Amino acid sequence: MDSTRVTEHPTSFDRPTAGGDPADPRGALLRTPVPPRASGSALPAQGRAGQTPPTSGAGAFEHSQPGTEPATGADTHRPRPAPDGVPLQPGGAQTGAGAVAGTDPGPGTPARAERRTGQLTTPGRPTPMRRDGDRLRFVGAATRRIARGMDLDEIVMGLCRATVPTFADAILVYLREPLPVGDERPTGPLVLRLRRTDRIPAERDTENGFTPAVPPEPSELETVGSELCEVRPGSALAEVLRGVRPVFTDAPSARAALPELLGDGGDFAVPDGRRAILAPLRGRRRVIGAALFLRGPERIAFEADDLLVAAQLATHSALGIDKAVLYGREAYIADELQRTMLPENLPRCTGVRLASRYLPAAETARVGGDWYDAIPLPGSRVALVVGDVMGHSMTSAAIMGQLRTTAQTLAGLDLPPQEVLHHLDEQAQRLGTDRMATCLYAVYDPVSHRITVANAGHPPPVLLHLGGHAEVLRVPAGAPIGVGGVDFEAVELDAPAGATLLLYTDGLVESRLRDVWTGIEQLRERLAVTAQLTGPDHPPPLEALCDEVLDMLGPGDRDDDIALLAARFDGIAPSDVAYWFLEPDDTAPGRARRLARRSLARWGMEDLTDSVELLVSEVVTNAVRYATKPVTLRLLRTDVLRCEVGDDVPQLPRLRQARATDEGGRGLYLVNRLARRWGATRLSTGKVVWFELNRG
């Protein structure tokens, strides 16, 4: 037995070959001229006994071990085995374990196309790449590209870009309309919509890689595709989709399904033979679409192994689409949950202007525990709230929603700020032992120009004065909500007209690059610098001030959600306020009418005298009927005229339709018809009934 050892070096992607690099984006666009075929020539038999291989050229050995040449002569060599996976050659010859792969073909032997790229090669010569390895590498690269997509469009685009031109000349991707989400059962008929189609341009400079200036004539492949098709039960297309496995379109079932998928006349644009593969896209539970892979007539047809490639591409794409749709639905639910738990619009309150901002920690995780709120209170006051629940999850958002609802309910009872935090602490303990949150609750009174603040472990607010001076308010820190067994303390501070109060969460001032107190000092300096730009007599615009504050965050300087609430204190001048105490007797309604008439005359609003006298008389009459302590009457002149009547009875009045025989019960009906707005609010000491009238 000959002891000659031959070392085989199969071609790989790291070694350039005549067939082109499979990673080349031009892929199947690379072509080589087809050598002429001599007519009447016969294909030589390959691998016959005694046949002598050529001594030079492409068929000779590329490498051999030194010192192992045969003794019969320098021109005698052992034939190198052909690479695995090389198919049968034309003429019945084959390359296998006992065949000669390097035999020089005789004259007239036709060239053959390499399977993956469509490169024309000569039979009997080694192919540029091992085909089984090429398919595995292509499938691996394609699935990685598909898996990189996060949403539906990215996954479909990844399938198209990975397929064209390496695997096919064109691809059409149909998806179900609408796409089912998760386990929901689709209703209605199965409708497929053409989601995306990619094709190789008809003409391209393959050497320089640019498209000619004159557009080429449209090819047959560019006429394929119908925008929408309905899959009828029992039709040929329904049977192909139910089969799940990819099929060649030359099969009778697939050929019958093409007109239904592509529309009238679309099947005639599909190349004949095995040049098209129809692959159903099946998700986890059902078929969600189909992909049609096409090759042009100038390229080698698909082979049986290409069905496995198409199946892998379809499976990975379908599962990715399924997950993308489910992820999109979850992101939508989380975004809607967060949006609905925050105020959609801030209220318009008397004597104060408001602006807010909310930034999630990341676009891919929009739910968090930060919240802000502005709640109108009786007496033209407003409660300003900002809080932060620990964590970034749906659970944190749900707890935040419960605490915000509790805060709104407690604010409606007009409880002091420290009492509100105390009840919030009890609510957090009822929700769980590990439900922790920080909160700052402030009440602004535009009449007295004072603000009352209570804090539960939250960063202190910053007050920007009209002259440009910014100060961090000295507010007792307190313990976070959920600790339990602690008292909260409230402080009352001045809130001069023109000043701006900034409430925020720790995501604005704390990050991995700085501690919270460093961030608070930077925020104070930023506010002072911004105020100097507008001068000492004009405060900066509120919306622009919020944007300027957020600009202090640099790239990578945000690790947490940010909730920001800014309040500009305008206040109500003392000359625009009239306030009286009325004894609860029968003379109170008449005295209330006289006092209201004098105030309207002083303000130059005599045109509202009749309406105000009527409504004040009705509301005061209802108050003194049940009150045991003096009744309060207050008139406020702002952009509207507001009247407030307070008593010590907690029961709220209700609007009802009086019967024809009733002597009373029409007071609130008149208020409802004549007033611009009206309402009643329960206080800790009673209630307040108020109404507003437009100024003439």
DSSP annotation string for 333-370: HHHHHHHHHS-SS---BTTEEEEEEEE-SBTTB---SE
Q: How does DSSP classify residue 180? A: P
In the predicted model, what is the mean pLDDT of residues 339-367? Answer: 82
Distance separating the N- and C-terminal Cα atoms of the chain: 118
Measured distance CA(456)–CA(429) in Å, rounded = 14
CA distance 151 to 435: 34
Structure-block tokens of residue 89: 């050659």
Share of the chain above pLDDT 70, in %: 73
Our CA angle for 239, 241, 246, nearest 5°, is: 110
Place of tokens 């000491």: 685
pLDDT of residue 553: 78
| Closest C-alpha to 63, from 102, 13, 14 | 102
Which has more pLDDT, 50 or 332?
332
What pairs with residue 642 in β-bridges?
636, 692
Strands 686-694 and 677-683, sheet pairing: antiparallel
- How much is the pLDDT for 367? 66
Per residue in 659-673, pLDDT (tens digit) is 666 656 677 888 888
| CA atoms of 178 and 22, how far apart (whole Å) | 37
Query: Out of 16-30, 232-246, 476-490, 634-648, which region has the weakest mean confidence (pLDDT)?
Result: 16-30
Distance, CA of 692 to CA of 674 (rounded, Å): 9
Q: What is the pLDDT, as a whole number, of residue 111?
A: 47
From 390, 525, 507, select the one nearest 459 (Cα to Cα). Answer: 507
Query: By C-alpha distance, which of 631, 617, 618, 646 is closest to 585?
Result: 631
Strand 470-472 versus strand 686-694 pairing type = unpaired
What domains does the chain contain, in order, with CATH numbers? 132-199+223-332 (3.30.450.40), 342-569 (3.60.40.10), 574-694 (3.30.565.10)
Tell me whether residue 279 is exposed, middle or buried, using C-beta atoms within 10 angstroms of its C-beta: 0 to 12, 13 to 18, 19 or more.
buried
CB-count exposure of residue 81 (10 Å: 0-12, 13-18, 19+)? middle
Per-residue confidence (pLDDT) for residue 18, from 0 to 100: 41
Cα–Cα distance between 633 and 621 in angstroms, integer? 12
Residue range 221-267, pLDDT digits in tens: 455 556 888 888 888 888 898 888 999 988 888 888 888 888 776 66
Region 306-322 average pLDDT: 92
Cα–Cα distance measured from residue 470 to residue 523, given in angstroms and rounded to the nearest whole number: 9
Nearest CA to 202 out of 79, 298, 60, 326 is that of 298
Name beta bridge partners: 643: 635, 691
Q: Are 613 and 590 in contact (CB under 8 A)?
A: no
3-state secondary structure 495-563: CCCCCEEEEECHHHCCECCECHHHHHHHHHHHHHHHHHHCCCCCCCCHHHHHHHHHCCCCCCCCCCCEE
Instruction: Map residue 656 onto helix, strand or coil.
Output: coil
Mean pLDDT in residue range 143-166: 90
Question: What's the maximum distance between 2 C-alpha atoms anywhere in the chain?
Answer: 139
Asked if residue 32 has pLDDT above 80, the reply is no
Give the mean model confidence (pLDDT) for residues 403-429.
91
pLDDT digits (tens, 9 = 90+) for 601-636: 999 999 999 999 999 999 999 999 989 999 999 999
- pLDDT given for residue 557 in this prediction: 61
Residues facing 374 on adjacent strands: 384
Sheet holding 686-694, edge to edge: 577-582, 631-637, 640-647, 686-694, 677-683
Distance, in Å, from the CA atom of 270 to the CA atom of 255, rounded to the nearest integer, reads 10
pTM of the predicted model over 0.95: no
Question: Mean pLDDT of all residues in the chain?
Answer: 77
Residue-wise pLDDT for 551-568, tens only, equals 887 665 667 789 999 999
In the predicted model, is pLDDT for residue 35 greater than 50? no
CB 159 within 8 A of CB 291: yes
Average pLDDT value for residue range 414-443: 91
- Give DSSP secondary structure letters for 47-107: S-TTPPPPSSSTTS-S---TT---TT-TT--PPPPPPTT--PPGGG---STTS-TTPPP-T
Radius of gyration for the chain, computed over Cα atoms and rounded to the nearest angstrom = 41
- pLDDT grade for 30, boundaries at 50, 70 and 90: very low
CA distance linking residue 337 with residue 333, whole number of Å: 6
* Whole-number percent of the chain with pLDDT over 90: 37
